[in-house]
Amino acid sequence: MMSGADRLSVYQGDITTLTVDAIVNAANSSLLGGGGVDGAIHRAAGPELLAVCRTLGGCPTGEARITGGYDLPARFVIHTVGPVWRGGDEGEAELLAACYRNSIQLAAANDCVTIAFPAISTGVYGYPAEPAAQIAVRTVADVLEHHVSIESVTFCCFSAASADLHRAAIARL
């Protein structure tokens, strides 16, 4: 059996182009679209995504919700709301880890075997990129130990710097 770390990879590029079972959306709590990766996913998925998100009643920070992928190559979009960085003393690390953990649990419950994550909370939410990458990689590797049905998790990074941080975090496992 492969360890959690053996199922992790890093890709630099556009998460909306990936052919995986589920992509994770770094959403805001309304789930009604926004900037960054959230806006890109909503634009690429088409109007059906927004229509379904309107019926979900939002999503609290650290939790996750699942919808279809609509016009995306991914079958599903898992929407999770990362914490806004407030200096690190307000539970941000635990909330960020919960985003990854809850997203994988939802993916597994929906028979997904391949998942792609963006660097949650590192854009406008201001989470420092290096600790965010370490939390993402460590949490996902730990959770994969309990979800053997998940074959691969890709950290889809928009920038080369973010991709490098995720690769370094994987190397440290």
* pLDDT, averaged across the chain: 96
Residue range 27-46: average pLDDT?
95
By the 8 A CB rule, do 42 and 74 touch?
no
pLDDT value for 2: 59
- Given a cut of 60, whether residue 89 has pLDDT beyond it is yes
- Region of poorest pLDDT, from 3-7, 8-12, 28-32, 47-51: 3-7
Count of other CB atoms within 10 angstroms of residue 10: 19
* Per-residue pLDDT band at 65 (split at 50, 70, 90): very high
Active-site annotation holder among 6, 38, 111, 164: 38
- Domain span at residue 13 reads 5-171
pTM of the model: 0.96
Mode of pairing for the β-strands spanning 64-68 and 22-27? unpaired
Give CA–CA dist 49/168, Å, rounded.
Answer: 34
Give CA–CA dist 139/33, Å, rounded.
Answer: 26
The CATH code of the domain that includes 122 is 3.40.220.10
Residue range 20-49: average pLDDT?
96
Return the C-alpha torsion angle 71, 74, 117, 163, nearest 10.
-90
* Per-residue pLDDT band at 5 (split at 50, 70, 90): confident
Contact partners, residue 64, CB within 8 Å, separation at least 6: 24, 78, 79, 80, 99, 102, 103, 105, 106
Give CA–CA dist 65/46, Å, rounded.
Answer: 18
Residue range 87-97: average pLDDT?
97
By the 8 A CB rule, do 76 and 110 touch?
yes
pLDDT value for 76: 98
Residue 117, SS3 per DSSP: strand
pLDDT per position as a tens digit, 103-142: 999 999 999 999 999 999 999 999 999 999 999 999 999 9
Q: How many domains does the chain have?
A: 1
- Given a cut of 70, whether residue 60 has pLDDT beyond it is yes
pLDDT value for 9: 98
Residue 111: active-site member: no
- Given a cut of 90, whether residue 1 has pLDDT beyond it is no
Chain CA centroid to CA 118, Å = 5
Q: Which residues pair with 27 in a beta bridge?
A: 81
Give CA–CA dist 146/137, Å, rounded.
Answer: 15
